[in-house]
Structure 1
Amino acid sequence: MKQLATFGLFCLTALATQAQTAPPQSMPTPPIATLKPKALVSPYGTRTDNYYWLNERENPQVLDYLKAENTYFDQQMTPVKTLEDKLFTEMKGRIKEQDESVPFRDNGYYYYTRYETGGEYPLYCRKAGSLQGAEEVLLNGNQMGQGHSYFAIGGYEVSDNNELLAFSTDTVSRRLYTLRFKNLKTGQLYPEKIANVEGNAVWAADNQTVFYAKKDVTTLLPYQVYRHKLGTEPAQDVLVYEEKDDTFSLHVSRSKSKQYLGIELGSAFSSEYRFLDANNPTGEFKVFAPRTPDLLYEVQDANGRFYIFTNWEAPNFRVMAAPLTSTGRNGWAEVIPQREDVFLEQMELFKNYLVLNEREEGIRQLRVINFKDEIGRVVDFRELAYTTFIGANPEFDTPLLRFTYTSFTTPATTYDYDMATHKLALLKEQPVLGGFDKKNYVTERKFVTARDGKLIPIAIVYKKGFHKNGQGPVLQYAYGSYGLSMDPTFSSARLSLLDRGFAYVLCGIRGGQELGRQWFEDGRMMRKMNSFTDFIDCSDYLIKEKYTSPAKLFALGGSAGGLLMGAVVNMRPELYKGVIAAVPFVDVVTTMSDASIPLTTGEYDQWGNPANKPAYDYMLSYSPYDNVKAQKYPNMLVITGLHDSQVQYFEPAKWVAKLRATKTDKNLLLLHTDMEAGHGGASGRFKALHDVARQYAFMFLLLDPKAAL
């Protein structure tokens, strides 16, 4: 990321948010936010928020406060600045700068991305006919990103005739994309620009019509679908669908067969699919099956039938089929039944095969089913803790399945699996420069007994020589929300921790779906506390089994995982030497009470609606901001982005301000705000490494910085 300017200590006295005299240079003192009490009134009680004024994004006093916190951060991190730079150089040195992805074939072209030496952003390319063909650069991210402190390409889609490109970009990091069009024969851009859209768009079969989703600029929810005719003014675009229920969001799609255009509508526990023949773009979208509470389904078509991936009477999901002419549930027939011990996560269709990404005992694996004999075969791997992901498979009539395999010790590896012969072809293992050898690292997989008897899966990795004597540093990570499962994947940056004696622990706490749908249900709404106690129970286990001690245990979580961090430090602060909370969702009751805050209404099924007293009371019982108290807290680094679209910057800013005024210890409490980025941090593959180096340097600051050098 672009480094922020350092503010002199004399500037602190000029800030309206300060309440003390400028400290001497040898004793940096944190900025103290001004108290401006605001009563937050609810039918179920009134809370006082002394820092609500930090919500005012354009207020110069707010910006001054954030900058002052950044200055304090820089001052406190000075002893490890050299180490931070070394870590960044080390991490960057493991990355092959001139690199490219494995090409995939689609409609006569091979598509891939590549990086150039020194480039922050990818080039999106293709070759016609074969890999020996001439390269055509569709989008050059490095050129497009010039002059922007933040840049991201949301997505791109090529028309059926291979001559037109729809693509989107974001230069703010609010995930409000601008849609553009390019003629691939001439290289010229079309004049129209369509602002505030979702990242993707889809072409109809006429090579002239595009469908896209418009976002509400306040809530950031995609809620309208428009039809655009290439070469016309966006003001003439036709609204074809508008979602009135603000707990639902939508997404436009095109089926793998290219036969259908789709509008995918969904909330956390209900979904609906509308479809239209791609050859009839001016027609009306039809409802596949009406939305019903607690019914989730996804639709694909193959061989003259629709296939439905659904939880209908199957909490762990199953696969159904329906004729093209009768899509209601009364016409669905079971193809793959539910299994109690296996959770289905994803379905991929081919002409002769059905592929399932499924999870058994917390491990994500692939099962291939031949339509002819309906025999299923699991693609087998030998490691204790690993994961597999279905890759880009745009072609329908092929026996080849493209997927990625990775583990704590195996870099992302791309395979083609021949579903007819069962042969596996290794296409690429992501190179790791600098002498990496997977044999030098050890992976363990354990199940921790939670306080209520449930077994929590954890995966551990460390370098050989790590001793379980309670003296080793450990970084413990979890997420535990939205049913998102955390899997053991490789990180070349993480080697900088492992090589310096750390063990890394990944905890599959409740709220994810590591152990099936019920694992998610047991960590949301009125059972959310399970996520927090699971993480604490894992910490206690690591200490009891002498992987580490409270003097060497660190915790990390981001976004909803930042909520986890906030709850844990309120409940058991003595367990941790340091905690890193990235873009943390910590002001739960206030945020969920304000429907104008981006994405709030779509989250009622995750946290509850505070308009209901039981939900209000339960959220209030764990909301990190509301439960800050006069006690000792561990050393903490809190990270946010001014343009965050998911968790607004003011949540972590207010949390830090309240912690400063309330906690009773002298441990470090640092807030770092990226003034140019959003939820995902800095853009660019190397800029983002600065964020990681900064987090690692913070932990070494609390241990032995000289030893880490």
Structure 2
Amino acid sequence: MTHHTTSTDTTTPVAASATAPVAETRPVQRTHHGITVTDDFDWLRDKDADDVLAHLHAENAYTESLTADQQPLREAIFAEIKSHTVETDLSVPSRRDGWWYFARTEEGQQYAIHCRVPASDTGDAEADWTPPVIERGVALDGEEVIFDANREAEGTAFFALGGLAVSRDGTLLAYAVDTTGDERFTLRVRRLDTGEELGDVVENVSYGLAFDPTGERIFYMVPDDTWRPYQLWTLNLGGESELLHQEDDPGFWTGFDLSAERDQLVIGSGNSEVAETWILDLTDPTARPERLVSREHQMLHSIDPVRLDGAPHYLVTHDRDLATQNPAPNNMVSVVAAEQITDPSAWRTVLPHSPTVKIDGVHPNRTHLMIAARADTTPRTLILPLSELPAERSAGHPCPTEPRFGEELYSAELASAPFDSPFIRLAYSSWVTPDQVLDYALATGETLLRRATEVPGYDPNQYLVERWWAPAESTDRRVAIPLTVIRHRDVEWNGSNPCVVYGYGSYEASMDPGFAASRLSLLDRGVVYVVAHVRGGGELGRAWYDQGKKLHKKNTFTDFVDATRFVASSGWVDPDRIGCMGGSAGGLLMGAVLNLAPELYRVCVAQVPFVDALTSILDPDLPLSALEWEEWGNPIADEQVYRYMAEYTPYENVRAVNYPAIAAMTSLHDTRVLYVEPAKWVQQLRRTITSDQATPLRDGGSPVVLRTEMDGGHGGASGRYRSWEERAWEYAFLLTGLGLDVEH
């Protein structure tokens, strides 16, 4: 590890005339439950207005001016990320039908190049499903480029794929492209033998594409005006599109998946609390969706078709035993003959409910059942032969096996389980182990390493990972908050080390172990990196999520504050040099904790932050707002929810005290968290807080800046190099705020 000190070099001074943009106040009022709130900056939501665009450009200019001295550090971090990345690289081929599909990346290119080579069928299953060994920059015999995203992205400032599907016979490619960042895609179809674009074009589609077995139909989703996927359509090639299914409840999201045998389409509608499932027989072009499990059961569930002894069955992952009405918040798995799906008394328990292991879903192939589970905070894959599934309700429960690994904190998730393959593919990673692609032999239990991501200049032995548990002092000391603490081996227990605390804590999303080469730029500078697995996430099962949503949402924020205080008192870090970072709902977390305990932090990066949550959720016409009621509650209908949210929504609770330096990152075309939220928040912060905002961060000030990506979406700019530039910008801001050398 290289040790660094604060630099006093001022070779890149900030212009003395740099002043923060001040948005005009144009008061508007909203009234709910007899409570009137005045909003001075809501006019900033009109992104097509010249004055709004001018304001955002002025904010960008101010941000760049005030942080210009960080440019050498940004360049250094970008170079470090680049140095730890093999730019010309490739993925492990995955077999589908008669082809091996894989992707290459090339030095200097922003996007992946999707390729394939023919597969063989020799009758030796192990040989036929062993991927070909490919080399960087070396084409295989028969290799075809099926989609070069770099070529497709030429002339666009933003480029993202919403789906890529090949017909079963390998002749047609369906793809969906977004060139603005608003996550509304255009579907097109191309012949792979000639490159000819067919005349079938559909605008405004959502994520996900699938061919039927004949290759004559393509299934896709369409979003409504609030960006909620609600219609399932089929495009009949050379003909018209046909609506197959529509979800009218504005609080339900809809999507689909192919069954393991790819002869059925499983259609799911629901939210975080209830679901409904339909099935579509793809072997019959006249078939219509058939409902399997109704929302009337008020049960979260998912369904996977499977054949047992040649007879059609369904595997059901569900959070309530319908026969007994007993809750199963961490889910259980049942199996039932297809014709008995509507009779809960016929469901046979495969895996009972466990208070310590959360089952997230299952996936069958011809011989085995793979179970996505979460134990001890981390994702695992469990494996069970189909032959062991119970034939009677009274039968005992089978015991699945689990591949074992040498680390305590790791992710081992199912990447694919092709129906006829003797292998399943696992994606393995940890906080210090770069991504690995593993094939697990179902017959023998042998784990085969197909690829270990190469990280030049990286020695995993130089980094340590620990699990700490912080008491939830603000709410209940009996609650222990899991923390992941990552540091360089050379960091000493002397109370002088800088620290960054990261968190999310919503939607039952877990911050799982995963390697990030960019994180090395913090660790190598002596930063102690902490992930606070606060309530509202899913790390400790459904109860951990339920304790951080709706009228328990404040637990998310107090957990993060308690975690920070615990880390500050650990003896490992300097309490005066702690930064925090989070994005989207994690940006809401940032805004809320800064209002609760601004004195704990020296610097904050809030990425696409959901900081005006109450205003957004009060408007059901905004993107996804109605769907959010299952996460936060419905403040329109429920006064208690309104008052509770009003107490924590960041924009409305900024205080006249000193705050840390803050960088709010957003994108003009983000459809999930509108740019107007951080734009308004920054204005409210600047006019309310008492910190020294005029002095640059490097000189000890606490500026509040807004940086808007004018060509990006919720994930920021597209392309890997632009993504590295964004991360370098964020880390440079954090490191400068933590008093580290800005040039190295």
Say whether the fold is shared (TM-score over 0.5): yes
1:380 aligned residue: 404
Pairing 1:416–2:442 present: no
C-alpha displacement of 1:182: 1.1
Equivalent AA in structure 2 for residue 657 of structure 1: Q
Distance 1:34 1:550, change over 3 A: farther
Pairing 1:134–2:152 present: no
2:167 aligned residue: 159
2:52 aligned residue: 62
8 Å Cα contact 1:384/1:445 also seen in 2: no
Alignment of 1:179-328 (within 5 A): 179-216=187-224, 218-232=225-239, 236-292=240-296, 294-303=298-307, 304-312=312-320, 313-328=327-342
In 2, Cα distance between the equivalents of 1:703 and 1:589? 32
Equivalent AA in structure 2 for residue 580 of structure 1: V
Alignment of 1:460-539 (within 5 A): 460-539=485-564
SS of the aligned residue for 2:681 comes to helix
C-alpha displacement of 1:471: 1.0
Pairing 1:358–2:358 present: no
In 2, Cα distance between the equivalents of 1:292 and 1:691? 46
Distance 1:536 1:334, change over 3 A: same
Pairing 1:436–2:462 present: no
C-alpha displacement of 1:419: 2.1
Equivalent AA in structure 2 for residue 425 of structure 1: L
In 2, Cα distance between the equivalents of 1:133 and 1:278? 34
Larger CA deviation: 454-463 vs 276-285: 276-285
In 1, Cα distance between the equivalents of 2:666 and 2:59? 12
C-alpha displacement of 1:423: 0.8
In 2, Cα distance between the equivalents of 1:28 and 1:278? 62
SS of the aligned residue for 1:311 comes to strand
8 Å Cα contact 2:439/2:447 also seen in 1: yes
In 2, Cα distance between the equivalents of 1:187 and 1:262? 31
1:6 aligned residue: none
8 Å Cα contact 1:196/1:215 also seen in 2: yes
Distance 1:402 1:247, change over 3 A: same
For structure 1, the 5+ residue unaligned runs are: 1-23
C-alpha displacement of 1:133: 4.5
SS of the aligned residue for 1:633 comes to coil
In 2, Cα distance between the equivalents of 1:25 and 1:437? 41
In 2, Cα distance between the equivalents of 1:95 and 1:562? 28
2:419 aligned residue: 396
1:702 aligned residue: 737
Equivalent AA in structure 2 for residue 254 of structure 1: L
In 2, Cα distance between the equivalents of 1:707 and 1:32? 29
2:590 aligned residue: 565
Q: 1:173 aligns with which of 173, 181, 185?
A: 181
C-alpha displacement of 1:27: 4.5
8 Å Cα contact 1:120/1:142 also seen in 2: yes
In 1, Cα distance between the equivalents of 2:272 and 2:341? 22
Equivalent AA in structure 1 for residue 69 of structure 2: P
8 Å Cα contact 1:269/1:293 also seen in 2: no
Equivalent AA in structure 2 for residue 335 of structure 1: V
Equivalent AA in structure 1 for residue 194 of structure 2: T
In 2, Cα distance between the equivalents of 1:436 and 1:253? 38
Percent identity among equivalent residues? 34
Alignment of 1:643-658 (within 5 A): 643-658=669-684
- TM-score, normalising length: structure 2: 0.89
In 2, Cα distance between the equivalents of 1:708 and 1:347? 49
Distance 1:327 1:200, change over 3 A: same
Q: 2:654 aligns with which of 582, 606, 628?
A: 628
Q: 2:90 aligns with which of 96, 100, 110?
A: 100
Distance 1:455 1:146, change over 3 A: same
Pairing 1:335–2:350 present: yes
In 2, Cα distance between the equivalents of 1:480 and 1:44? 31
Pairing 1:640–2:644 present: no
8 Å Cα contact 1:348/1:355 also seen in 2: yes
In 2, Cα distance between the equivalents of 1:329 and 1:108? 40
In 2, Cα distance between the equivalents of 1:273 and 1:136? 38
Larger CA deviation: 251-260 vs 537-546: 251-260
C-alpha displacement of 1:579: 0.8
1:8 aligned residue: none
Distance 1:372 1:280, change over 3 A: closer
SS of the aligned residue for 2:406 comes to coil
Equivalent AA in structure 1 for residue 668 of structure 2: L
In 2, Cα distance between the equivalents of 1:338 and 1:703? 46
In 1, Cα distance between the equivalents of 2:296 and 2:236? 34
Larger CA deviation: 37-46 vs 401-410: 37-46
In 1, Cα distance between the equivalents of 2:297 and 2:530? 37
C-alpha displacement of 1:706: 3.3
1:662 aligned residue: 688
SS of the aligned residue for 1:317 comes to strand
In 1, Cα distance between the equivalents of 2:297 and 2:654? 36
8 Å Cα contact 1:260/1:275 also seen in 2: yes
Equivalent AA in structure 1 for residue 351 of structure 2: I
1:368 aligned residue: 383
8 Å Cα contact 2:15/2:66 also seen in 1: no
Larger CA deviation: 69-78 vs 254-263: 254-263
SS of the aligned residue for 1:391 comes to strand
8 Å Cα contact 2:732/2:742 also seen in 1: no
* Residues paired across the two proteins, number: 680
Equivalent AA in structure 2 for residue 327 of structure 1: I
In 1, Cα distance between the equivalents of 2:629 and 2:455? 42
8 Å Cα contact 2:472/2:480 also seen in 1: yes
C-alpha displacement of 1:582: 0.5
C-alpha displacement of 1:604: 0.3
8 Å Cα contact 2:46/2:52 also seen in 1: yes
Equivalent AA in structure 2 for residue 197 of structure 1: V
C-alpha displacement of 1:25: 3.6
In 2, Cα distance between the equivalents of 1:600 and 1:329? 35
C-alpha displacement of 1:707: 6.1
In 1, Cα distance between the equivalents of 2:236 and 2:578? 57
Larger CA deviation: 293-302 vs 308-317: 293-302
SS of the aligned residue for 1:486 comes to coil
Distance 1:550 1:32, change over 3 A: farther
Distance 1:512 1:293, change over 3 A: farther
In 2, Cα distance between the equivalents of 1:377 and 1:273? 29
- TM-score, normalising length: structure 1: 0.94
Q: 1:345 aligns with which of 360, 374, 383?
A: 360
> Cα RMSD over matched residues?
1.4
Equivalent AA in structure 2 for residue 578 of structure 1: V
In 2, Cα distance between the equivalents of 1:137 and 1:275? 34
In 2, Cα distance between the equivalents of 1:69 and 1:623? 23
Equivalent AA in structure 2 for residue 690 of structure 1: E
C-alpha displacement of 1:446: 1.3
Q: What whole-Å deviation, never above 9, does each CA across 1:280-331 have from its counterpart, x for those lacking one?
A: 1322110011113641111112223111111123110111112122221423
C-alpha displacement of 1:708: 5.1
C-alpha displacement of 1:636: 0.7
Equivalent AA in structure 1 for residue 238 of structure 2: G
